Structure 1
Amino acid sequence: MKKIRRWMQVQRVVGAGVVMLAGLHAQGAAARDGHDHDHDHDAVKHVLLISFDGLHQQDVARCISSNSCPNLALLAKSGTTYSDAHTPGLSDSFPGLAALVTGGSPKSAGLFYDVSYDRTLYAPSDSNCTGKQGWNVVFDETTGIDGQNGGALTHLDGGGAFNPQAIPHALVNGVCQPVYPHNYVKTNTIFEVVKQNVKGARTAWADKHAWGYDWLNGPSGTGVDDLSRTEINSIDPVTHKAYTDVYTHTEQFDNLHVQSLIDEIDGKDSTGHSAADVPTVFGTNFQTLSVAQKATVANGGGYLDASFTPGPQVTAAIAYLDNALGRIVSELKQRNLYSSTAVIVTAKHGQSPTDHSKLVKNGDTLSKLLEANNYLDPNGNFGQANTNSGNPNDGSGLVNTGFVQTDDVGLIWLRDQSQLSAVVKTLKDNLSCNAPGICADGPQAYILYGPRLAGRFGDPARGRAPDIVVQPNPGVIYTSSQSKDEEHGGNAPDDSHLGLVVYMPRSHHAGQTIDEPVLTTQVAPTILRMLDVDPDLLHSVATEGTRTLPGFDREQF
């Protein structure tokens, strides 16, 4: 709790509005001053954002000190390392990336998970918006048309189009309209702001799902000029397996993104087939480390102890990522772009638990408890848990059922919101790890609901925010899977404490480490500041008062 108290003290000093996440996490929001600043307009023309999913700050510190990530070490030597960077409360890929590119937490961005729920939406088949409301929104690998009717994911590009069965509907000004991922995100992105405010700007991004990450385009639908359509869950025609089966296979998928970046640096599009300007803002996501972390300790995955000593797979994965970073930076230097390109290395999320002795896998006891007490269908027949094909997004999911999303966190959208008090009582009566308990009886566990949840994540009555957030004891994963020993999505310490290294050309603070607590939401306004664009043009930044990273405020630029 010492670190949390220090977090609160820092936020009070800067005049932030502090909202507690049940005593475990705080969101800092500090209005920036209005002073003019001197900016070398030639210093930064491009910003490259790289997410090594799963990268903890402890991974960064350990690999630099042991000289096992020489390329990241060189970047840190020329840049700024933030030793106390955290996600804004939830650590799934969607809210994690949204923090980096919108400057907002789930409260303003509206993204809680790639699989979530919205009470205001109608089913994909309800094109007139005349049926029941309340849809389990699934924007993952099945968002591509390959997933239609539960089909096999046979194409790297997800089939080349959206799966119409994945796209719900909403009444907008009395008109029933489809809700694509870019309609689902509630705020704009750095890609939109840069395109609108930097003359001749071009934007690009590559991620793990070909169509689910359409939300990066922002509400305009056009924020990313070159959104690489690559699907990690597609079937590799050589191995006949998805790219997530083993970390060495994931490397092959991530190599596609390395090549896309190199092509973009070389003045081509992400396919390498057409000429294009070097993007003003561009970047990608890497999955190799995440896959290695999730792999069971028995098979060489994860970490060896509570000190983040990497096991064989994680050791190799970090070496791979560092080599990939070296290739990218080398290309920037070869094309004489390194002196005009800012490079940010961080992660959407960490992974939990790194200390294998804390691992608890009792199955999805949270969902079972809700079902057993008739808060959700007792046969598990809610949301898209029971579809005609057995796969999500085949269009046959049920409407208005409520939903629960679990990994190392539990997000609960109640079928009947009037049952909130009864559900909370049931949860509190079953906090232990003994059946039918939910393993939330430790000092770092909590159940968030009511006004405190609304203040942190938004009012559930408006449709998007969950009614209840359950953070179990660190180390608990609501699964019985035998294939993974770590997960993410919640606010456990290992989920939320991330690596963050920022290199900016001609910086006066090269090689510094900043220990002040920061949030990953602060990356987005910092990117705009680097490009001499007003950060408040990001709606989430203006709404939440997100400040730039320390060392990149106006008077220090």
Structure 2
Amino acid sequence: MRTTGKSMRVRYMIGAVAMSLAAMHAASAAAMGGQDQDGNSHGQGHASGQGNGHGPVKHVLLISFDGLHQQDVARCIGSNACPNLALLAKAGTTYTNAHTPGLSDSFPGLAALVTGGSPKTAGLFYDVSYDRTLYAPSDTQCTGKQGWNVVFDETTGIDAQNGGALTHLDGGGAFNPQAIPHAKIGGVCQPVFPHNYVKTNTLFEVVKQNMRGSRTAWADKHAWGYDWLNGPSGVGVDDLARTEINSIDAATKTDYTDVFTHTETFDNFHVQEMLNEIDGKDSTGKSNADVPTVFGADFQTLSVAQKAPVASGGGYLDADFTPGPQVAAAITYIDNSLARVVTELKQRGLYDSTAIIVTSKHGQSPTDHTKLVKNGDTLTKLLEANNFLDPNGNFGQAATKSGNLNDGSGLVDTGFVQTDDVGLIWLRDQSQAATVVKTLKANLSCNAPGICADGPQAYILSGPALAARFGNPALGRTPDIIVQPNPGVIYTTSTSKDEEHGGNAPDDSHLGLVVYVPHAHDTGRTIDQPVLTTQVAPSILHVLGLEPELLHSVALEGTPVLPQFDRDRF
């Protein structure tokens, strides 16, 4: 697999990965089983990993400003456009060469940060993906065909049942049963919630298992799709705030993604939730609770501003990441939000015991507007035209009998294609893989019916090379083919966005990463060594005094802690 820029080769352990994961899932479930309904552990942690609780770091705050490139960090600090992030960098360490592990959609991007693993072990490729082993939501006995288009997004909340309007900020307060597929496990047909879907444990689970009296919290953009953060145990996050960005704001009659200033309103919910948690409350502020050991939130304002058309003030002005008016305002907003949280930590006497990590799940591409190509979804059209997928689009979430997306009435065993600025292909007939690749390679140009993947930074990944990087497609979860088009290509004709993410273009994958650890001996450092965002999770455990290998993905992939991130320095 060709990558752009510098990259770091991740070490994969040799062996029967699937069997190891299954064994660890069982061990995780057993270890987490001794918890009450509030997720409070009554058992003992692993002796080798038990946090002693006597070090300088008592809490870790992780913040993802989605879309934050390293170039944004360098530019805004250099121009004093983000003074609060600059102060954090001055007190901490800036990693200038941090990248996502191969895919940059929100699911694999966040999974990297909280599992320490790539899609190969965590099993998360996109929030809308496909799994050949799963049965339809309506197939409660697991007697029909297998192969389901898994959609864990805004429609995972019960508001979306039967195509309903998303009228509640909390997604309706429950799962939409029409969004939950089934799997046969040990001969028993069982529902697969998002926390069942992730293949490895999360740092929230590890902290709860191994630090007595610990508490965990997180807030993200989809109220129920991000249930996977709980990990296979289902109870890793004590306080998982249920906020849905695609819910309808009664004040505006639109969702929170229509314009970046409206997205600020949504992100302010997350700011307030963190302030409540710092103040010794739960995320709602209604109940007393211990300050979380590990907590944080996702922010969408910058991402929405980046996607907005350049003609309306969105995106960037040039190839040097000069922000347009919306992006400049969004950077000011996220910097002020960071200041509010840091100020609260200081006022509560927690700043000197809280490590703070500011990064992003993903970047956005293309920042250089002159590279933008929107020819439509030529990849899917080419596959349909050659009968590799149904020519009428009867596959995936669009193939519902009712016409409502993801209401559980879709077709099974159809294959699927996920496209943004990348193409993930799950074939209807896996035996056609070589023929499909041949067809794709014969149509690489940007002229119809080409897929615009004829440049030096484009590639088509399949076969052993794909399996080595992302896992064996024959096992059901991994795409058969991954197409990375030329940087700047978005497989859409939408006029509402000029940037996207999901793939491995340079602007997708090169992220900002600033780490503050209280009482570190060296401050204000800049580290140019290539790192992956998967290294954040083991570093969090390390600074809390826990063994990073307690994370299954870290053990399987050999993910190291961030360079010079040595707890003995403090």
The TM-score, its normalising length taken from structure 1, stands at 0.94
User: Cα distance 1:366–1:2, how it changes in 2: closer, same or farther (>3 A)?
Assistant: closer
Distance in 1 between residues matched to 2:475 and 2:11, nearest whole Å? 26
- How far residue 421 of structure 1 moved from its aligned partner, in angstroms, is 0.9
* Residue deviations 1:26-48 (CA, integer Å, cap 9, x gap): xxxxxxxxx99x99933100000
Q: Which residue of 1 aligns with 2:73?
A: 60
- How far residue 6 of structure 1 moved from its aligned partner, in angstroms, is 5.1
Distance in 1 between residues matched to 2:162 and 2:4, nearest whole Å? 47
Distance in 2 between residues matched to 1:75 and 1:141, nearest whole Å? 33
1:456 and 2:464 correspond: no
Q: Which residue of 2 aligns with 1:542?
A: 555
* Residue deviations 1:65-112 (CA, integer Å, cap 9, x gap): 000000000000000000000000000000000000000000000000
- How far residue 7 of structure 1 moved from its aligned partner, in angstroms, is 3.7
User: Cα distance 1:401–1:214, how it changes in 2: closer, same or farther (>3 A)?
Assistant: same
Q: Which residue of 2 aligns with 1:413?
A: 426
* Residue deviations 1:275-328 (CA, integer Å, cap 9, x gap): 000000000000000000000000000000000000000000000000000000
**Native 8 Å contact 2:13 2:558 kept in 1:** no
- How far residue 383 of structure 1 moved from its aligned partner, in angstroms, is 1.4
**Native 8 Å contact 2:130 2:416 kept in 1:** yes
Please give the residue correspondences for 1:147-546 in structure 2 after superposition, counting only pairs within 5 Å: 147-546=160-559
Q: Which residue of 2 aligns with 1:553?
A: 566
Distance in 2 between residues matched to 1:204 and 1:481, nearest whole Å? 36
> CA RMSD of the aligned region, Å?
1.9
Q: State the SS of the aligned residue for 1:384.
A: helix
**Native 8 Å contact 1:388 1:394 kept in 2:** no
1:130 and 2:143 correspond: yes
**Native 8 Å contact 2:379 2:491 kept in 1:** yes
User: Cα distance 1:16–1:553, how it changes in 2: closer, same or farther (>3 A)?
Assistant: farther
Q: State the SS of the aligned residue for 2:229.
A: helix
Distance in 1 between residues matched to 2:117 and 2:313, nearest whole Å? 36
Q: State the SS of the aligned residue for 2:196.
A: helix
- How far residue 440 of structure 1 moved from its aligned partner, in angstroms, is 0.3
Q: State the SS of the aligned residue for 1:342.
A: strand
Distance in 2 between residues matched to 1:254 and 1:6, nearest whole Å? 33
**Native 8 Å contact 1:158 1:229 kept in 2:** yes
Name the aligned partner's letter for residue 319 of structure 1: T
- How far residue 555 of structure 1 moved from its aligned partner, in angstroms, is 5.7
**Native 8 Å contact 1:138 1:392 kept in 2:** no
**Native 8 Å contact 1:87 1:99 kept in 2:** yes
Distance in 1 between residues matched to 2:7 and 2:130, nearest whole Å? 31
Unaligned 5+ segments in structure 1 are 20-34
Distance in 2 between residues matched to 1:412 and 1:285, nearest whole Å? 28
Q: Which residue of 2 aligns with 1:28?
A: none
Distance in 1 between residues matched to 2:276 and 2:3, nearest whole Å? 43
**Native 8 Å contact 1:303 1:309 kept in 2:** yes
- How far residue 4 of structure 1 moved from its aligned partner, in angstroms, is 5.4
- How far residue 333 of structure 1 moved from its aligned partner, in angstroms, is 0.1
Q: What fraction of aligned residue pairs are identical, expressed as a percent?
A: 80
Q: Which residue of 2 aligns with 1:114?
A: 127
Q: State the SS of the aligned residue for 1:308.
A: coil
- How far residue 386 of structure 1 moved from its aligned partner, in angstroms, is 2.4
User: Cα distance 1:5–1:116, how it changes in 2: closer, same or farther (>3 A)?
Assistant: closer
* Residue deviations 1:134-158 (CA, integer Å, cap 9, x gap): 0000000000000101110000000
Count of residue correspondences:
536
Distance in 2 between residues matched to 1:418 and 1:139, nearest whole Å? 28
- How far residue 509 of structure 1 moved from its aligned partner, in angstroms, is 1.6
User: Cα distance 1:241–1:40, how it changes in 2: closer, same or farther (>3 A)?
Assistant: closer
- How far residue 384 of structure 1 moved from its aligned partner, in angstroms, is 1.2
- How far residue 508 of structure 1 moved from its aligned partner, in angstroms, is 1.0
Q: Which residue of 1 aligns with 2:23?
A: none
User: Cα distance 1:2–1:423, how it changes in 2: closer, same or farther (>3 A)?
Assistant: closer
* Residue deviations 1:147-179 (CA, integer Å, cap 9, x gap): 101110000000000000000000000000000
Distance in 1 between residues matched to 2:149 and 2:441, nearest whole Å? 26
**Native 8 Å contact 1:41 1:532 kept in 2:** no
Q: Which residue of 1 aligns with 2:110?
A: 97
* Residue deviations 1:45-67 (CA, integer Å, cap 9, x gap): 00000000000000000000000
Distance in 2 between residues matched to 1:509 and 1:431, nearest whole Å? 49
Q: Which residue of 1 aligns with 2:63?
A: 50
User: Cα distance 1:153–1:79, how it changes in 2: closer, same or farther (>3 A)?
Assistant: same
**Native 8 Å contact 1:94 1:111 kept in 2:** yes
**Native 8 Å contact 2:171 2:223 kept in 1:** yes
Q: Which residue of 2 aligns with 1:31?
A: none
- How far residue 391 of structure 1 moved from its aligned partner, in angstroms, is 3.3
- How far residue 407 of structure 1 moved from its aligned partner, in angstroms, is 0.1
Runs of 4 or more off by more than 4 Å in structure 1? 1-6, 15-19, 554-557
Name the aligned partner's letter for residue 218 of structure 1: G
Name the aligned partner's letter for residue 380 of structure 1: G
**Native 8 Å contact 2:111 2:117 kept in 1:** yes
Distance in 2 between residues matched to 1:49 and 1:391, nearest whole Å? 36
Name the aligned partner's letter for residue 370 of structure 1: L
Distance in 1 between residues matched to 2:480 and 2:150, nearest whole Å? 16
User: Cα distance 1:555–1:506, how it changes in 2: closer, same or farther (>3 A)?
Assistant: closer
User: Cα distance 1:87–1:74, how it changes in 2: closer, same or farther (>3 A)?
Assistant: same
Name which of structure 1's ranges 379-388 and 254-263 shifts more when overlaid on structure 2.
379-388
Name the aligned partner's letter for residue 324 of structure 2: G
Distance in 2 between residues matched to 1:154 and 1:387, nearest whole Å? 22
User: Cα distance 1:187–1:100, how it changes in 2: closer, same or farther (>3 A)?
Assistant: same
Distance in 2 between residues matched to 1:94 and 1:68, nearest whole Å? 29
**Native 8 Å contact 2:147 2:413 kept in 1:** yes
The TM-score, its normalising length taken from structure 2, stands at 0.92
